[in-house]
Amino acid sequence: MPEDNSKDQANRDQPEHSASAIFVEMMRQAAARANPGKPVPEADSAGNGTPDFSASTAGTSTDGASEISLKPDAAAPEVRRIRRRLLLRRPHPASMTSGFLGTIFVVVVSTALVATLLMFFVNPEYVNPAVVQGLQLESEAIIAGASAGRPTPVQTPRWLRRIGIVSGHRGKSASGARDPGAICVDEDGNSILEEADINFAVATRVVASLESMNYAVEMLDEFDPRLNNYRADALVSIHANTCYDFGEYVSGYIVAISEARPAFGADAFLRECIAENFGAYVPLERSYNLTDDMTDNHTWRKIHPLTPAMILEMGYMLADKAVLTEDPDLLARAIVDGILCFMENVNRPSSQREPGRHPAGYIIPAMVTPTPIFGR
Ligand SMILES: [Zn+2]
């Protein structure tokens, strides 16, 4: 209950009256209200003149305080003080509840303290020897496993692990126009093959496959607003390369990460996982014709700095047209195996067969839960 301290201070400066005199004054006021007709005797020694006793008699609340209620400005200071004291003394529901909770708190804390103290006096042989041995073996296994780089007993469930799949050029371009990506045209200049369609056919299959494994998968547009500060365990952007006629045979798939990411970090490991698995399924060679659009892709500047990300150019739309259009299931399966390599540490790149840092350089990121190597 908020108290007016300045008022209290003012009261303290007033001359003290005896408690009995104040009590008599209160009784007198109560009597005056009980018999409003009777004339009120003069106020005594206080010298404040006759207080206004026309305080409300009807419609007042039924609590004890109102029994002696007066117009606040009219009450003698000592009466106000007493009334306030009476109000303070009355137990109210809030303090009873907090008192009850306080009691429970004290009981719980002291019980915990006593139980802890008593533990010092418990004979170790009191505990079942089988339980002791079990705990010992368990902790030894965990320590041995950790030092040997073996799996920890608990894995993060897959539905808590997020994978983003960008279907290249899907949705509107940055300027808001339709974005087919690269296109192949016939002699009349009509579009006969669009990159966005190739990418989407593969991306939908990748998403469906990963979803069937219970990962939290998101299909993203090329300029998806969700890419801003995007957080995921892995982000793969799926593309196909230009249909431009270079005048020579230009073929192959390309993998790239942001040039801003460490050369041997998680992104690089994801890139190698995708590259090796894609190469194992798809009859194309790995090409190293990286462009700025791959290493400085707009996506890399948007996503969260801790999201491992890579871009895959599955092949050239002119030379590799058959591979890109005839079997999207195969392309999707290759990408899924590459993602599993990164997420589950299976289907590992040949340079990554051993746990920890390989002489070839790549560091297996801590977020990848080590699991037994199944071979390929
Ligand atoms: Zn593209």
Examine the pLDDT at 11 and tell me if it is beyond 60.
Answer: no
Pick the more confident residue, 26 or 304: 304
Distance in Å, CA 350 to ligand 1 centroid: 28
Total residue count of the chain as it appears in this document:
376
- The pLDDT score that the predictor gives to residue 145 is 59
User: In this structure, which amino acid lies at residue 336?
Assistant: V
Give the mean pLDDT of 68-72. Answer: 49
Dist. CA 181 → ligand 1 center (Å): 5
Banded model confidence at residue 123, pLDDT cuts 50, 70, 90: confident
Residues whose CB falls within 8 Å of the CB of residue 274, separated by 6 or more in sequence, listed in order? 236, 255, 310, 312, 335, 338, 339, 341, 342
**Separation of CA 239 and ligand 1 centre (Å):** 5
Reported confidence tier of residue 51, pLDDT bands at 50, 70, 90: very low
CATH of 158-352, one of 1.10.287.110, 3.50.50.60, 3.40.630.40, 3.10.20.90: 3.40.630.40
Query: Each residue of 340-366: pLDDT tens digit?
Result: 999 988 877 765 554 444 444 455 544
* Residue 119: predicted pLDDT: 78
Give distance in angstroms: CA of 220 to centre of ligand 1.
14
Cα separation, 95 vs 343, in Å, equals: 56
Q: How far is the CA of 344 from the centre of ligand 1 (A)?
A: 28
If you measure from the C-alpha of residue 195 to the centroid of ligand 1, how many angstroms do you get, rounded to a whole number?
A: 7
Between 374 and 292, name the one with better pLDDT.
292
CA of 191 to the centre of ligand 1 (A): 16
Parse the chain into domains and list their residue ranges. 7-89, 158-352
State pLDDT tens for residues 140-166: 766 665 555 555 556 778 888 999 999
Q: What angle do CA 203, 209, 211 make, to 5 degrees?
A: 100
How much distance in Å is there from the Cα of 205 to the middle of ligand 1? 18
Average pLDDT, the chain: 79
173 CA distance to ligand 1 middle (Å): 11
Pick from 363, 313, 369, 312: which is nearest to 345 by CA?
A: 369
Instruction: Quote the pLDDT of residue 137.
Output: 74
Centre of ligand 1 from the C-alpha of residue 157, in Å: 33
CA of 241 to the centre of ligand 1 (A): 6
Compute, in angstroms, the gap from residue 298 CA to the centroid of ligand 1. 12
Report the separation in Å between the CA atom of 158 and the middle of ligand 1, taken as the mean of its atom positions. 29
Is residue 66 over pLDDT 50? no
Give the whole-angstrom CA distance, residue 313 versus residue 254: 5
What CA dihedral angle connects 210, 374, 140 and 157, to 10 degrees?
A: 10
Q: Give distance in angstroms: CA of 199 to centre of ligand 1.
A: 8
d(CA 129, CA 136): 10
All residues at 6 or more sequence positions from 332 whose CB lies less than 8 Å from its CB, including other chains: 202, 205, 206, 209
Residue 107, H or E segment: helix 93-119
- Ligand 1 midpoint to CA 306 (Å): 24
Q: How many Å lie between the centroid of ligand 1 and the Cα of residue 240?
A: 6
Q: How far is the CA of 95 from the centre of ligand 1 (A)?
A: 69
Q: For the whole prediction, is pTM greater than 0.85?
A: no
pLDDT surpasses 80 at 71: no
Tell me the CA–centroid distance for residue 242 and ligand 1, in Å: 8
